[in-house]
Structure 1
Amino acid sequence: MIDLYYWTTPNGHKMTMFLEEAGLPYKVLPINISKGEQFQPHFLKIAPNNRIPAMVDHAPADGGEPIAMFESGAMLVYLAEKTGRFLPADIRERAQVMQWLFWQMGGLGPMAGQNHHFGTYAPEKIQYAIDRYVGETGRLYGVLNKHLAGREFIASEYSIADMACYPWIVSHERQNQNLNDFPHLKRWFEAIAARPATVRAYEVAKTVNSQPTVHDEEARKILFGQNAQTVR
């Protein structure tokens, strides 16, 4: 059994997508980041960076004590290795998956996240910041679109790279991106959206949080007011 500490963010969706695809038994333990539940001591023991998702695997492959993990990319690799699925054994195909997984973790996710922040949540609209992150998000969409030309998936088969990238494209309209400008990306996006496991994963989200983009003033302070003092 996997305990999944989860909220309805793109990084949270990655994990439910994998778990639904793999058919692993899991239990969702909601961590409402708008209410500060990510600072609860029991959660910080698992996720010292006070971010979701995190998980505890109660049945690790070595038969030992439960394994606790944070960071969605690391969690995807761990589960792929545990199940032997969605991460190819072939060295070249594995390298392809890993580089695009890291591309999402280091590029698409952070840049789209800043896009969301300055375009939607920031109390003052700083046009330079908005233009900067909308433009960089578009550049990254273009990189993935070009890569997907003539490809069904990011690598030779559906993998954790696809699962990592897809949730960050879901909010394309909020990111001021038009998928019609990226036809290969659009075709890939629509194919993944139609997968039964993707549908199930997003149904899980609806049961946890029906209004994922609504934040009141107190929630904004919790989400965007963190600094070094927060973790001391």
Structure 2
Amino acid sequence: MSLFSRVLPVLLLLSLAACSSGPKAPDWQMEAKNSMERAVAAYLEGNSRVEAMEFGRARSELSSTGRTDLMARAELLRCASRVASLVLEPCAGFEPLRQDAPAAERAYADYLEGRLQPQDLALLPASQRAAAAAGADVAAVRGIADPLSQLVAAGVIFRAGRASPALLQQAVDTASSQGWRRPLLAWLGVQLQVAEKGGDAEAAARLRRRIALTQNAAASAKP
């Protein structure tokens, strides 16, 4: 199950629904779905300005419903993209909503921050539940079909201090295959730290070249 399908289930597949013979989906649903998708994509690509703009649009659409559960899920999706990129800060946007958020959303927020209670494991999305139950098993992370969910699981394991070299490589490969510059640089940076700490000068030099290539490509793409 993808993170989009878990965190924003009401907004999922609305583009298909809009093309069906049934009633037209409300405008707020389509606008919120599209803005959230663009916001997450922009963040992972390293474009903070576009991410902030699109997320603001999504929040505006969701706030028109007065539904705490939808707003909480949007905030959690935003925080999940940060955990995937190793920006391990509190999920500040969710906390004002915590008191009125459903139990599953509270459990997911705790999971992202590395303080999930064992009794709440069953409340997690299926993919994250398997990874959380397996601990630091890289095979469990690799078995998650959705790339963003995979990086989230890896980020949670890293936050707990249990990330193996194999898990770091898996995260790098996932971010690279998706063209997600921000998490790729974050995970490459961790690999570089490990190489330097272990005295592997050849690996460290190779990683510095790859990081520089990724950073230079981003700089050249800016107008």
Query: Quick check: which one's helix share is greater?
Result: 2
Query: Quick check: which one's strand share is greater?
Result: 1
Q: Normalised by the size of structure 2, how large is the TM-score? A: 0.38
Q: Normalised by the size of structure 1, how large is the TM-score? A: 0.37
Greater relative CO (CA pairs within 8 A, separation 6+): 1
